[in-house]
Structure formats: structure tokens, C-alpha cells
A and B are shown apart, each in its own frame.
Chain A
Amino acid sequence: MLRSKRKSKSPYARPNAHPALRALNPATTATQTQAGPSRPTQAAVQFVSTQPQNQEHQLPVDDPTTSEQTAVPLPSIAPSIPLSTSGPNTTVWIIAIYTPFYIALYTLKLCMLKETLHTTSILFGLDVQFFSRKQTPMAADEDADVFEITDFTTASDWERYVARLEEVLHEWKLVNSNPLPPAPRGSLSTGKWHEKKESISFADFSFLVTYKYLERDDIQKSGEESRPSPDDESEEKESSEEALPTVMADMMSLDNDFPSKSHCLSRWFGLQEFVVITPSQSSAAIESESRIKILLSSVSIALNNTGSPVPVFIQIQQYWRQMFSGACVLPGSSIDFDVIHLKTAPPQYSHLSGLLDVFKAKMATQVMPRPTVMVAVRFTYILTEWHNSTWPQEPPDFSSPMEDEVGCSDFGNLPFGASEDPVSEMQLACTWPSLSEDMIVENQNYSDLDPMQAPQWAVRIIMTEDPNCLLGKYLSEFLKISHRKETVEDLLWNLLSKEDDDQTGDISQALQKLTEPKVAKMYNIPSLSNVVHSASSRLAIKPGQAPINGDTLTTLLEFLFPDAKPVSEKTDKDESETESDKPSTKYSSIIEDLSKHLKSAPDDSLLHNLVTALVMVNMHHGGIRGVAQLWQEFVLEMRYRWENKFLISGINPGSPNLGTCLLYQKLQMLNCCIERKIKREQLYKGYTGQSLEEQKDSDSEEAVSSQLTTSDSEPCAASEEEQSKESGSSGTTATVSKESTDRLQQSRKEQQKQTSRKEKEGIPAKRPHLDSSSDDDDEFFECEDEDKEKDEEEENEEDGEEEEEEDNEEDEEMEVETIKAKETTTPEGEEVSMEVSGTSSSSYMDSITHKPEGRLAKSGDLKLLNSEEPLYIPITQDPSPMTEDMLEEHAEVLARLGTSSEGAQLRARMQSACLVSDMESFKAANPGCTIEDFVRWYSPRDWIEEDESTKENPIGHLSTRMQIPGNIWSEAWQSAKPVPARRQKRLFDDTKEAEKVLHFLSAMKPADVVVHLLPLLLHSSIVNIISNEDSDVPKVKEMIEHLISKSSMVTRTPHQHVRRYEDLVKLITLTETLIARATSLKAKFPSSLVESSSGKEEVEKFISDLLHINEVPINGGPTGPVGNMIHKLFVAAQRDLHMVMDDEENKEETSSNTVPDFPRPSAREYILRTAAPRPAPYSKSLPHKMTCSIIEGHEFRLAGAFASDTIFQ
């Protein structure tokens, strides 16, 4: 390499003769300066030539002598001599300047000019003439002494720009890189692309420089070998010299013609790496020729200076035109890239022979014989009219699902599917991958290119951007509520009447519909409902203004609470539903497992129905206000059920299931409370009957009723028992809700009977009265009548001592008093009842004075230690049901006590209520027992039997830990009085807990409601997706599994984030779209069109591939089974199209013979390439490529890459 004589030390840029220089002499405008990588002994100005971009602009090639004269900037002072190369591969010409004086002068002039020139050229654009590139370089000899100018002041915008560009190329390590092998087949579209970005400004303009490159994991391992570092030894240099530069290898590789998707530059030229410079703002498109030239020159300089072999493009014209101009500088050669873009194809060029002419003309090679051009062609045919399928398959009727009284199932089903055909068109690409130009003819009159002869077929399906998927739409609308801040009251303020007076007459029409008239029918307690209404503060809604109108609301509520519907109506519905409800697919096991995977609720719970109803209401009945209204009604119904002791249907019995979502647990809790309340009141009735006198004192009227109730108590208790037995035995199957519904219905009927009987007896309003009073008497835990029955049974079994029973009654009275006394001493506290009852307790210790009470069963054949009495297991209080939030609170309280021994003590005491209660029950059941007896039942491993112990005569002792004086167990034992469970203070306060739940519910804003229902929403949606999925496409199944596992994770995380659910809704939409696409494709490519079973399989695979592969190659091309089907589809579409014309013109059917099988190709692409010496016949043979795409009626585009030898030209 030759070095520049002047070495600029400008920190910005080394070049120092620039546009200014060119401006001085048009002949030199194309030449560029460069400072070599510093060899201080030499200094020279380098001029580099770039290839002409367009033939038109190319000036006649000057011979070196003329160029010498024209090129020298100040010829009169500084004559230059061509320095014909100091190495065979140099293309650099030099101006040698002999005297410092000249230089100084020259620089001065230059600077002045440069300033003016720059502003003009950048801001206004210079005359093209000035910038038309000149092929001839300039030359000057060089041998002079070192001459250096350190100049920081003169760095222009342009210099900075070029310098920055070079810097960026260095940063990205695009310098001196060794050639890569061409990209593997198809990898341009399937591979992973990366990009690096950098912003560079040129004066006021800012450009974005982007390096895009394909990840080459195929050569990463052997990366060292394929791209040896440039400093390596000569052997490797030789080998790398032999290797074709990356860009050329890419251009000539046949493996990536017609990529299915890729950057257009990569598509046209086959590039696996390139740099694009685009104006940062699309408004600042580079349109003037002169600017394009400046920018291209800059690129050439930068590439030359850095020695980077990567092609660099400048995006020109408006973005949409996809116009680029580019350059690539290689050792000994360079490549020019150009794009021509027209709206329509000039007729003479719109076929292969015309394009070959263009190609050859551009190449302008003079060698004979001319090298043959290799051609690759692809025709694309579009099918939009599908002969055999229309969309929608089943017209989804969502006009007004609720308006007409079709039934409640309309609220129970989320919508599903796309409302528009998700598949809009099919594109068939027929490819001739490699033809020699003389093997094929295509001109204006004749074409060899018949799609049925094309060796390769591939299909691409264009999907509708947004096929309007209903489920996704409904869900995302529903989710939006979660961001709203309004409370129910905010939303319904104008609907809620505040005067209580209105209530009786003007109560919420719908609720009234549900509760009042129907209650009257169903429950047959006409007077009850009024009392209830005024008692519970129901918010009345003014009719006519509500988002949900009365009839709809009734339908909704009947749907949610089918047990509140008249029996006759209900049973019919149920049967029809159960039949249609069976999605007997491959997914049924998945559906079954779903409620385990997700933290939501058991299948088909009340909450599932609620969430779907809310989603529908949100879309069709007033949006968030409708949601607020329905929620309001729901909460009221919950309160109504609590106050009137109707179990909530659609909620599994038992303690809150911690594997379900919080809201479901809350409802389970409420149900527990209702159940306890029912039992409690049954018991109360029993008591009132027995402690008659006491009651009389307080309220004589009530006593009458009590008596009556007592007379009724037998059938009542029976029904209760039946109910509790059933609820105990029912499993977790989906049928439970229905069973329990029926059961409820039954039990309600029983109650109806009772009440009506009472009514007949002339005491109508007593029950409600009882109800309200019962709330005050909730201090006792009851163990229902069956306990007593069992007691009796056992006692009878034992000895038939009937007198004991009578005694019992007397006793009871006494007990009641004791308890009353206990109550008064209890200062509000409940948990630490042990301490409380411990005050006056010792008298009860080991007392034999009382009669046994509350026995459940004998504990094997154990006998009490101190007597011959058998040891009885007492009836105990059930453990308190807890929801997860209570539990968390509880655990936190326990944990907060710390780990000290005092903390542990306190913790034990806090939890001893249950132990004390059990001890009291035990004492009551086993008169004369000792703590040893208790331990033998309760903690048998703390009773250590001696060896000589026998069954009849048990001998043993307590474990050491139980013997420690003052330990909490013996302490508790001391304090425990013999009180049967049913008269103990309740460990579980159902009234309080029910109120807590109801408060929780009514305090929820619509946004909270949505958040709490999200797990159910997911659950229902997944079930919905699955029941609509019958495509058998593996990809769909994959998606569903993915969806389930994500949902499982999201519903289980302790803190629920709406954002995660939003992501999941996106996933649901995606799945829904995929299923819609699969369905549509199945209809469009019916496997019925294929005879052979292997063909059917192939069609299925094809459909499956279409869903996730951009462009699906057709096995066997036009002759394979899929190809055959596609052919038929085109033929059918063509027939359809032409039949119409036939009819119009009344032609005969025979014309169908002339109808072509395929329409005109919508797009034609040609790739022409060859290797030929350029520019001179004696130049090296270099690759050239031209890509042409003609899109019918849309665009005509040529993209050419022509290489030229920069040494032998």
C-alpha cells in the first residue's frame, strides 16, 4: 500500500482532500483521499476510485496521462506523476506534493472552499455534474520527506461523518474479517438474525447505521478455522485468498434463492450480512442525486480506509419504495449495488428474455463467447376464492343472546371462534430453481414456464390480521375492568334508592322476581320475604334505569341459582344440559385434571357460572355497570341465603378447600356457617322444648311457638340428618352440585311443609322471629340431635337405664345455668377459654357426681383406670373451618410470638382451646376419669404400659413429659369442667365468620371482583377452548398444554398480578386464532379429496405445517397428493370464475376446455447470475447477479449487483 504524503493528525478524520478537491476539478470528484495506516516516513494523499454506479453517468475512461493532468488539483504548481502501483493489487493513486509551501497554500484554499461547499452540498444539494463519479483516478509520485500537519480545526461535518462510520465498522469488527462460507440452505429465512445499531450524524442529519447478520451457529464451533485472524501466517492467508469473499459466495449460492421471509436486501442479493444506513426520520428521505453520491462516496472511503469486506447500503427515496444503493470494497475488486423500482413493468422487460437483455447490457462485458446466464424463476399464484368452503362454518349468532328468553345456558357459555375467516388467501409458489438461459424461453408470445412443470411447489397461507376472535375479545374486555377504580356504589348511585320506605313496594324488580314471587311459590313463605327484606338492608334498585333489565336479571339469577327455580322447570333443563355437556374428546382427562392444576374451583361451580355471566353482561348489558349490578345482586343473594339458612348451591360442602381460589373458599366458608346455623337452630328448638319454664319467663308467646316447633322437631331433625349424611358422603365429582341442589330443594320442601303446617295451625310469622332471636343465642356449640340419639342408643345398649334419660333432662337445666354463669364471667374472650374456665374449676376435677353426657362411642374395650366403666370417646366440637387468608393471619400471629420459650408457651396456650374443649367433653362423657384416661385416648403414646399390664387390669404411667409438674396438659386438665361439646362455648362463631365473609364480598369493587374471578375465568376459557378443539393438529395441542401449565403457575402464585393474566389472555387469543385457522384450513383442504390413506396423512401434515411454517414445501410438487389437491382447487376456482362469464355470454360448455388451470401469476421473480470479466475483457472474472420481481399491477423491481475488477480495468 502506498502511504499518503501528508499525514493528517486530525482527531476526526484522516482524509484531507474532499469534495472541495473535487469541486476544484470535476474530473477528480469521484476520487477520495485516504491516509494510510501510518507509516510516518511516507506521506501522501491517496485517491480511491469507486465504480460508476450507472452506465449513464460513466464518463469515458481516461488514460493515465490525461487523468494525471486533469486530476491534479493545482496542476500549475504541483505537477503530479502517476505512480503506477507498488503492488499488484493496489488501486491507489497518489498525489505527491513536493514542497511544503505548496501544501500550505493548497490546504488553505481547500479549507476555504470546503466550508462553503459543504453547506451548499448538504443543505441544497450540489449540481449532479459536480458529483458524477469519475472512474479515472489520479496519481502522483511519492518519495518525499515526511510531512505532517496536525489540524484539529478543519475537521468538517463530512470528515467527522466518515470517521465515525469507520469507527463503527471497527467497533463492530467488520474489518479484515475472513470470508464465511455461504449461508446454509434456507437459513436466510429460518435462521436467527441479529442486528447492531448506531446513530451517526452528518451535519444536521442523523442516520441510523444498522448491521444485520445471520447467526452462523453452524460454523461457530469451527469458527477459528473459517475466520482466521488476519495476523495469521502466510499459509492461511493463501487459503483465505482462494476463498470467495462472503458477499460473492452469497450472491452465487443457489441455496437461498426466494427466501420465504427475510430482509429485502438479503432476498435480492442473497446476503447473510450487510450494513444499511437509513435516515433516522422517514421525512428526511435522501432523494437528491447529489446527496446519494456524497453518501456513497463516504461509504467507499470508509470501506477503503477500514478494509471492510461487508457490503454497505444507503436507503434512498421514500422508505416504502425499498430503494437502496450500495457498495462493497474487496481486495482487488468492488461491487456496486443498485435498485430500480417502477410501478408497472415496461412490456419489453416483463419476461425472461427482456430481463436477460437488461442484465447483459448492465454487465457490459465484451468477452466472447459471452458466459451463459443461470436463471432461477419463481411464479406465485394466488387463490382467494375457495370453491368448497365458506366462512363462517357455523354462523355464530351473537346478535342478542340474552334478549330472547332462550334459557340460561346463554350465560353459561363463553363465545368461541373467529367471526371472520382467519384464512384469507393461499399463495402457491412454483419454482424452477436452476435453469440455463438457453434451456428455457419466455417472451411476449411464448412461455415454457408451466406451473404444472415446475419442479418445486410451496404454499404460503395469508392469515387475516385480526379475525376477531370472540373469546379473546370478551376476555380482554372483561380484564379491562380490573383497572377501574369505581366502587359498586359509585357506579350504581343513581339506581340505589336510599329511603327504606320504598323497599317493600319498590324493591329491586329482578331480585324481587327471584326472591319474592318465586320465593312465595317455591318456599311458600309469603310473609317471610317481607320481613327478610326489611331486616336485611337490601339495596333496592329503581326499575327502568338498571343496566340489566328485569327479565334478563331474572334469567341470570335463575341461571346462577338453579335451586331457586320452580322444580318442574328445573328438572327439564338439567337433563338436557347434562346430555349436551359431554365433551367426550381426547381432552376429557385434561379437563378433569384442570381443577387440580389450576387454583380455581371444582368444575361447574357457582363461580364458574358467575364469571361467564359477568363476562357476558360486560359485553351485552351495560359493561362495568352491569357487572356492578350483577355482583350487587349476587352479594344480596348470599346474604339472603345466610339469613334464611339456604345453603349456597354449586359450592362443595365441607371446610374451605385450600386448593381453590380465595373467593371459592369464602363461599365454602359461608356455606359452613349456614350449615352450622341450621344445626344450631335445630338444637335450639330441641332445648326450648325441654327448658320450657325458662322460656316462659322471658316470652310467653315464643314459648307457644317453641312448643309447636318441638312437636315438629322430629321430621325436621330427620331431614336435617339426611342432609348432613348426604353432604358428608358426596364426593368431589361434578354431579355434586346437582345432587346437593336437589337435596336443597328437598330440604326446602320439607321446610315449606313445616312452615305451611304451622301456618295452617295459625301461627304464621313465628319462624322469622325465631330466626332473629336465635342469632343472640349462638354461644353454644351444638352437636345436633343425632348425638343424643346415639347417646340414647348406647345407653340403652348398655343397660337400658331409662331413668338416666330423665335425669338427663333435669341435669340439662342445671347445666344451662352453669353455662350462663360461665358466660357472664367470660370477658368477651373466646380463644383462651381455658384460662377463663380455669377460675372456678377444681371442683369438677375427677368428679363422679355428674351423669355421663355427649358420648360418641366406646374406645375399643378400654376401661377407665379407676373403675369398671368403659372409656368413652366423647362427641367433640368440629374444628373451625378456615380460609387461606384467615390461616395466613393465624400463622402470622403464631409466628410473631417468636421462638423464645415464652413465645412457645403462649402459642401453645392460644391453641389449647381445642384441647380444653376436648378435655371437657371427655370429662362429661366419662365421669370419674383421670388425666391418664384422657391421655390413653388422646395421646396413647404418652401412656407407657408396664409389662405386667393386662387388658382387664391396665398398669402404666404417663410419659415423662406429661408428668412434668405444671405442664400445659395437666394444667388444662385441672381447669377443664365436665361439659359436653354441645353446651360448650363455640370454638367457631358462625355468625361472626359469616358476617366477615359477607363484608368481604360487599366491600369488593368491580375491579376486585374481576381479579378474584380471574382463575375461574382462565379455567372456563380453557374448558371452552378444549371443547371447541377438534383439529387434531399437534401444534394446537402443544399450545393448550402450554396454556395450562402457564395458567397453573399464574393461579398459584401467592400474589395475583393482573398483568400476568393479561399475558395469558393473549395466549388464549393466540390459541383461539390457531384453532380457528386449523378449522378453516381443514375445511379448505378436505382430506376427502384425497383417496389414499397415505395421502390423507400427508394432507394432515400439510395443514399442521401451514399453522407454524411460513412457507410449506409441497412434497412431490404438482404430482404429490397435496399438489394434486391444490391443482384441483385452482381448477375449481378458475371454473367458477369463468362459468359466470360463460353464462353471461351464453357460450357453450365446451369453452371450459380453454379455461386455463391457473390464473395469471400474481408475482414473478427471476434471478439471473453469471460470472464474467468486468469492466475490461482482461479483467478478472467476477460474479454478477440481478434479481427481478414483477408483482402484477403493483411493482416492477430490478436489483443488480455488479462486480468490477479494480486492478485490471
Chain B
Amino acid sequence: MGDTEVLTTLKILIIGESSVGKSSLLLRFTDDTFDPEQAATIGVDFKVKTLQVDGNRAKLAIWDTAGQERFRTLTPSYYRGAQGAILVYDVTNRASFQKLDVWLNELETFSTKHDLIKMLVGNKIDQENREVSKEDGLKFARKHHMLFIEASAKTREGVQCAFEELVEKIIQTPGLWETSNRGVDISQGGQAASACQGYCAVI
């Protein structure tokens, strides 16, 4: 199974306020580790991982972004062509949840694929001082037609699942990843008929 051909390369974004744990989630997913000394991202960062979903191998090119306001003029350029986006907030920080609208808006404006799949991830559920309930997260996700999961990059809970779910959904949305090599089929209106050999009518 391991060497089945890579079906497609998918571009996935991770966005959200700074220090909600975007880079940590990505590191957990790609290297299955947690680095408390992870530096704050500058601009965008990039990781690759292949994933087996539904018997399909998908190569994921995951773009991690810096969440700081100032970088926001720079990073959206990299939204181009992404098939999926992971919006992260910190469950121990209400403000990071409230900023989600801004991020969604950002996606809307800069993503080139309008039907890209969005996933909402509430991170740091290992911590005690929760400020955002699961219900709030669910409600927001429902309102904006997103996938939703709570996770912890530290304890690995929900991380793998989040990425797999997202990829599966992307693969199920063929318009998103098929490079559509099929030509434009023109439905010829009207009279060309196959059944007759140039003899259609009596006259």
C-alpha cells in the first residue's frame, strides 16, 4: 500500500492569530513532536507530508503563516491556490476566537478557489483555563460551513484527525483538486444527429 502513486498535491493553509499554536499543530502533525521552544513564525513557513486517505495518497504542502497584524499584508499572497484552510484559535483565549471573523474575511478575499474547504480547530484543550467552550466553536463552524475539531498540539489529541478529515473532504470535492484535464465538452444544440447518415428529414 505504501508506494501507491501520489494522487495529487494539495495546498493547505494554517491561519489564525499569533501564538494560538499554528506552528505547533503543524509540527505535531508532520513530526509528531511538540517543541515548547518553537520560534514565532516570520512570514510564512512550509512543510510537506504525504497522507493516505481512503486508499488515496495525497501529498500535502502545508503553509504555516505568522498571525501578527503586520504580516497580514504579506501572507495572504500565499493563499493563492489553496484547497483547504485550517483556522486555529486558542480555547484559553477568547480574543483569538473573536478574531476568527477577520480571518474568514481574509480567506474570502484572497483565496482563489471559492469552494476551498475550511476547518476550524480549537487548540490547547490540554490547558485548564478555558475561555471558549466547545459549543461556541461548534456554533461558529456551523454558521460558516466549516469542519470543526478541538485539539491539543501538546498532547496530540485531535491533530492527526483534523488533517485527515480535511484532506478527505477535499478529495471528495472533485472540482477542487482535479486539474480538470478534460476538454470543454460542447453540447451541440440542435440538429446534428448521430443516428442518421446525413438524411434527417424527408425533404
Contact = CB atoms under 8 A, between A and B. Distances in A.
Nearest to B40: A961
Contact of A908 (B43, B78, B189, B200): B43
Interface stretch (A227-235, A708-716, A936-944): A936-944
A263 B191 CA distance: 14
Interface stretch (B30-38, B120-128, B157-165): B30-38
B138 interface: no
A1039 to B, nearest CB: 7
A261 B40 contact: no
Given A899-B30, A938-B70, A1053-B179, A261 B201 contact: yes
Nearest to A1057: B183
Contacts of B61: 895
Given A918-B70, A942-B19, A899 B48 contact: yes
B19 A959 contact: yes
A911 B42 contact: yes
Contacts of A113: none
Interface in B147-203: 179-180, 183-184, 186-191, 193-197, 199-203
Contacts of A1050: 184
A1063 B186 CA distance: 7
Interface string A959-980: 1111010011100000000000
Interface string B30-57: 1000001111111111111000000000
Interface residues of A, number: 79
A652 to B, nearest CB: 15
A1052 interface: yes
The SS class assigned to the A binding surface is: helix
Contacts of B74: 879, 911, 914
Nearest to A427: B203
Contacts of B184: 1046, 1049-1050, 1060, 1063-1064, 1067
B105 interface: no
B40 A962 contact: yes
A960 B201 contact: no
- Which of B43, B74, B93 has the most chain A CB atoms closer than 10 A to its own CB? B43
Contacts of A941: 17-19, 93, 96
Contacts of A1074: 189
B202 A908 contact: no
B39 A964 contact: yes
Interface in B11-39: 17-19, 30, 36-39
B103 interface: no
B196 A904 contact: no
B180 A1049 contact: yes
B140 interface: no
B78 A891 contact: yes
B19 A887 contact: no
B44 A1059 contact: no
Given A1053-B180, A1074-B189, A939 B43 contact: no
A887 B201 CA distance: 58
A878 B110 CA distance: 18
A887 B186 CA distance: 34
Interface in A1064-1122: 1064, 1066-1067, 1070, 1074, 1107-1108, 1110
A1018 B78 CA distance: 27
B27 to A, nearest CB: 10
Given A1046-B184, A1063-B183, A1064-B184, A969 B40 contact: yes
Nearest to A960: B36
A463 B183 CA distance: 28
Contacts of A1110: 190-191, 200
Contact of A1108 (B47, B71, B180, B190): B190
Contacts of B129: none
B46 A658 contact: no
Contacts of A915: 42
Contacts of B112: 658-659, 1052
A335 B69 CA distance: 87
Contacts of A912: 42-43
B87 to A, nearest CB: 16
A264 interface: yes
Contacts of B17: 941
A460 B193 CA distance: 15
B4 interface: no
B80 interface: yes
Contacts of A959: 19, 40
Contacts of A918: 70
A1067 B44 contact: no
Contacts of B8: none
Contacts of B195: 192-193, 195, 212, 261-263, 266
A698 B173 CA distance: 66
A513 interface: no
A976 to B, nearest CB: 14
- Which of A258, A460, A891 has the most chain B CB atoms closer than 10 A to its own CB? A891
Interface in A865-924: 876, 878-879, 882, 884, 887-888, 890-891, 894-895, 897, 899, 904, 907-908, 910-912, 914-915, 918
A1163 B18 contact: no
Contact of B77 (A195, A463, A658, A1063): A658
B78 A261 contact: no
A864 B112 CA distance: 41
Given A918-B70, A1070-B189, A1191 B38 contact: no
Given A899-B30, A1052-B112, A961 B73 contact: no
Contact of A894 (B46, B81, B188, B199): B46
A879 B37 contact: no
A322 interface: yes
Interface string A753-777: 0000000000000000000000000
B40 A942 contact: yes
Interface in A233-286: 258, 260-264, 266-267
B47 A1060 contact: no
B106 to A, nearest CB: 13
Nearest to B79: A658
B180 A907 contact: no
A877 to B, nearest CB: 10
A1054 interface: yes
Contact of A961 (B38, B43, B188): B38
Contact of A907 (B40, B46, B187, B189): B46
Interface string B77-102: 11011000000000001001000000
A380 interface: yes
A964 B37 contact: yes
B44 A894 contact: yes
Contacts of A914: 43, 70-71, 74
A267 B202 CA distance: 9
A891 B11 CA distance: 12
A961 B37 contact: yes
A1181 B57 CA distance: 69
A1162 B203 contact: yes
B39 A967 contact: yes
Nearest to A1035: B189
Interface of B: 17-19, 30, 36-48, 61, 68-71, 73-74, 77-78, 80-81, 93, 96, 110, 112, 179-180, 183-184, 186-191, 193-197, 199-203
Given A195-B195, A262-B196, 4 more contacts: A261-B200, A427-B203, A938-B70, A1110-B190
Interface of A: 192-193, 195, 212, 258, 260-264, 266-267, 322, 380, 382, 427, 460, 463, 658-659, 876, 878-879, 882, 884, 887-888, 890-891, 894-895, 897, 899, 904, 907-908, 910-912, 914-915, 918, 938-939, 941-942, 959-962, 964, 967-969, 1035, 1039, 1042, 1046, 1049-1050, 1052-1054, 1059-1060, 1063-1064, 1066-1067, 1070, 1074, 1107-1108, 1110, 1162-1163, 1165, 1189, 1191
12 contacts: A263-B195, A266-B195, A382-B203, A463-B190, A911-B42, A961-B19, A964-B39, A1053-B180, A1059-B183, A1067-B186, A1070-B189, A1162-B203
